[in-house]
Amino acid sequence: MNRAIAALGLRHRIVIAFALVALLVSTVFAVSTYALARGYLLGQRERVVEHQALADAGFVQRRLETAGADVSAVLTAAGTPAGHTVVLKWQEQWYGSALDEGREAVPAALQAEAAAGRASTQRFRTADGPVLVVGVPLPAVDGEFYEIAPLNELDGILRLLSSILIGGAFLSAGAGAALGAWASRSVVTPLNRVAVAAATIAGGELDTRLPPTEDPELATIVASFNSMVETLQQRIERDARLAADVSHELRSPLTTLVGSVDLLTARKDELPERSQQLLGLISADLERFRRLLDDLLELARSDAGLDLGSEATVSLGELLRYVVAEIGGDPAVVSGVEGVEVRGDKARLGRLFRNLVENADRHGGGVTGVVIGRSGEDVLVSVDDAGGGVAPEDRERVFERFATGPNRRGSSSGTGLGLALVAETAAAHGGAVWCEASPAGGARFVVRLPEVKR
């Protein structure tokens, strides 16, 4: 039971709690009211019947003291209220004001009390409904007087009262549930706003803030949250700008190094064989460093919001064939739907697809196909390679920054930023990228971008 309640949401738990509390309070109130009302009404009814029975018993006793009294006439003349029945034991004989009433109508316990000379009262239920019997001893004539009063009217009143109280308890529970729903909405709505704002901020919109509120209980939370986000935004922007500035400053010495190495490479034949090998290693590492710096600068500027390239309508087929040809591939590998256009920064989109094609060449045994397709209102570009594929557990990790080594299908020659830059660029253009198995056995990287409709 506790697990089932714990599995419910906060709003449902609040509604249930309010409903149960309202039901408990209303039930206690209903039971107390019914008990008090029943006790009062029964006590009042008993006093009335006892008073009437004593008066009737005195009348019957006076009549029986008269010689030659007719018992039937005496019982008839007693003038009991309508519905009341009188049973009389006199001279060891039983008499009743009704033909079907006699000794069997009086409980044995009540007969014993009257025989002992004590007046007593007892309630019990018969086939016709509840009744109240009052027993009065008549010592002057050696008799016992019993008056039976029906309680059907009182029982009906109590039943009506219990129905009203039960209905009131359920109505109170419903009102408590409604109050709980309102209270839970008042409690959960600010939390939902915080959750939505946090999700938006996690999505990259660091300018998101909670709206101001006049609620004194929430004002502190809103102010603290906005202050935290402001501090976080400033720190992220400062770190991103620092990375961008550092990367930019490294370009000058890197350019000098590249120029120097190129000069040495031009006169490579004049160097000893060992120096030539060393120059080859330096050239390879310098090229890797250049790619790393370019990717790092691109990511840093993207994080800092500095790379705001102009948007234009880009023909995907032309862009993909140009990218494949630029890196020395065969443009014929590009196939699929023609005339597809997307909107975005052409330079950044070119870098996106260039990274995918280079990744396939460097780590996947070469590109086997670049296919353009449609999915609803989006464009899908699939890049297949001839490698061994990517393990299912690594298909998300390959898009992490600096994910090299085993996460790059056994190769560590990359910068570890190429696919991370692909994911960042696709997200910046309202799309996404993912990795799956290619039908040919290699890896397939799929880029989704919104299509421009004409």
Does 203 have pLDDT greater than 60? Answer: yes
Six token digits for residue 349: 């989109």
Q: Which of 451, 436, 298, 303 is nearest to 378 (CA)?
A: 451
Average pLDDT value for residue range 198-206: 78
pLDDT computed for residue 300 by the predictor? 65
Using the 8-state DSSP alphabet, how is residue 269 labeled?
G
> DSSP readout, 211-256?
PP---HHHHHHHHHHHHHHHHHHHHHHHHHHHHHHHHHHHHHHHHH
A 10 A CB-CB count for 60 gives 26
| Contact yes or no for 151/141 (Cβ under 8 A) | no
Does 19 have pLDDT greater than 70? Answer: yes
Between 453 and 415, the higher pLDDT residue: 453
pLDDT computed for residue 404 by the predictor? 60
Does 2 have pLDDT greater than 60? Answer: no
Out of 15-19, 56-60, 102-106, least confident range? 102-106
In percent, the amount of the chain with pLDDT more than 70 equals 87
Between 449 and 266, the higher pLDDT residue: 449
CA dihedral in degrees (35, 37, 41, 44; nearest 10)?
90
Out of 29-43, 182-196, 412-426, least confident range? 412-426
Average pLDDT value for residue range 214-228: 82
Per the prediction, the chain carries an average pLDDT of 82
pLDDT computed for residue 302 by the predictor? 64
pLDDT computed for residue 248 by the predictor? 66
In this predicted model, what pLDDT tens digit does every residue of 123-139 receive, in sequence order? 888 888 898 999 999 88
In this predicted model, what pLDDT tens digit does every residue of 383-414 receive, in sequence order? 999 888 888 888 888 888 776 644 444 344 45
In this predicted model, what pLDDT tens digit does every residue of 242-285 receive, in sequence order? 666 766 677 777 778 777 777 778 777 777 888 778 878 888 77
Q: Whole-model pTM?
A: 0.49
Show the DSSP H helices in 267-380 as ranges: 273-303, 316-326, 346-363
| 3-class DSSP assignment, residue 295 | helix
The residue with tokens 């008799």 is: 143
